[in-house]
Chains A and B, each alone.
Chain A
Amino acid sequence: MTADPSLLVEDLAFAYPDGHQALFGVDLRVERGERVALLGPNGAGKTTLVLHLNGILTGGRGRVSVAGLPVQKRHLTEVRRRVGIVFQDPDDQLFMPTVGEDVAFGPRNLGLPEPEVAARVDEALRQVGMAGSADRPPHHLSFGQRRRVAVATVLSMHPEVLVLDEPSSNLDPAGRRELAEVLAGLPVTMLMVTHDLPYALQLCPRSVVLDGGVVVADGPTREVLADADLLAAHRLELPYGFDPRTVP
């Protein structure tokens, strides 16, 4: 395997066509196998950054590369295989008639032979604890199950990096815990965009804080969350009574 980091973002700046500038020179390096939380208030540029990782947004200043491969138009298929994004609303992500077909969507786009597609669907559904649900229509699943299937739709592409947009949002406490157990057991590099700071502490040893389109903090999650001044300056707040220093 290469020594290239899973994700390398260098001096990335981007303005939307309407002139709104969302990123002002972001640098981020995520090593292979790391789990990193991307924190920041609404409007900080988190989603804009995420959409650059697989080349859905391009054309600004700076460079992005995934395991050494630059994100450019001619590499788009391979880049999108390497970067698996799980979007916030599973109903946006699950558009095929059945769970199995949805998990197969990515591998089939990669042109894999059918036996390989079937094996990957089985493997991905097992990884998220949804084995045996391949024939069910997505809208018959609970919200937590749909979120886990959404993760499987990306795992089936064997991504280098798993990018999760607000993975714990709208989940009930049990669904939130089940997803955490699934995510903690996955052997992939992970970038998790979240407002759920305890979740970040539970799952990600490292946190990066993005605000105003730049990285304003990058360090061990426990230290970042213990820095009350930093949190206050960037509209981040811990839940009532939560003390990151006393969590095991």
Chain B
Amino acid sequence: MNLYSLLNIAYKALMRNKMRAMLTMLGIVIGIASVIAMISIGQSSQQNINEQISGLGTNLIMVMRQQHRPGVNTGSTNVQSLKYKDCIAIRNQAKYVSDVSPYIQSSGQLIRGSNNWPTSIAGVDPCYLNIRKYKLERGTNFTQAQINSYAKVCLIGTTIVEKLFPDGENPIGKEIRFGKIPFKVIGILESKGQNQMGQDQDDIVIAPYTTIQKRVAAIDYIHMIYASATSESVANQATDEIESILRAQHNILPGKENDFDVRTQSEMLEMMNSVTGFISILLAAIASISLVVGGIGIMNIMYVTVTERTKEIGLRMSIGARSRDIMRQFLAESIILSLLGGVIGILFGLLISYVVSLALSWPFIVSSSSIILSFVVCAATGIFFGWYPAKKAANLDPINALRYE
């Protein structure tokens, strides 16, 4: 019996009981649909978290001060190893770095009339906004001229606006005091909400680094350097580059330890990915249980079918079907059921995950591997769960089968 007539026989046998065939398929449809949907939704959420972390700046590189000296480790508080000229060196020499900003921080009380708020003020370069992916909601960024003139201007986040201007007054052009030093508000930053660690990213005041360094902190070094790699994929190269530039700047001999520490966000990204990856696997595992149940459904129906169609099997044998023809027919029936169910299930699963991604405004991701995998699983389900009933049918004795009532 050739493949065409085999499929023809199996197809006709299935079409003789369309309702049952459809209900049998339903198990596989649900199983495959949930596997596809779960994998796709899992990947979408992973992609979504990736994008959020990238929003913080995954290409963000931080350089901190560090000292290794015998005796009491005083942390980085008094370490003065980073200077503004290090920023210039990175800006001029590094190929994989797009923006570099110094960072000087000072804590204190912000005062506006009768309102005040404890916060810290950061002295940075204008490109700090790009590096940290802040956007201006209103007003303007400060300029190189204002840096050169140690201008007392600042940009504030929305939390500061709420605390210092509770009456809804427009803060632009108004003066606020940081300790005793007055700053003119020239811009308001768009709200970024909390970051992954729960810190309020809108509780922020930034000003030209020169102003903070000279007028507020009165130091000649800088606390940190913020830089961004030209892209996420070269973050590691950028890190290495910064390290070698700074080693040269600081005249550190080979074999000696750095007096600074270069960090990226990639660890955080990895951690988040491992969490979402685990959740995806968990979801897919739960979904695959329904696939197994669907497979058992096929086996159950095929088993009942064999009993119900005993007489048909006897007839087919009496008119010349060999055991293996019967076996193949029943296997083909279960494979057709599971593959057809699989195709419908894949379409359903894609639809579900598309709707979910649309509803949550997540990216819609379909991996071809999950589709290929479910297709293979379907075929395997059909063979695995169809084999036993088919074997049973093939082993029937034609005499008894014909006499079966």
| A and B are interacting partners | no
Report B's interface with A, CB cutoff 8 A: none
Report A's interface with B, CB cutoff 8 A: none
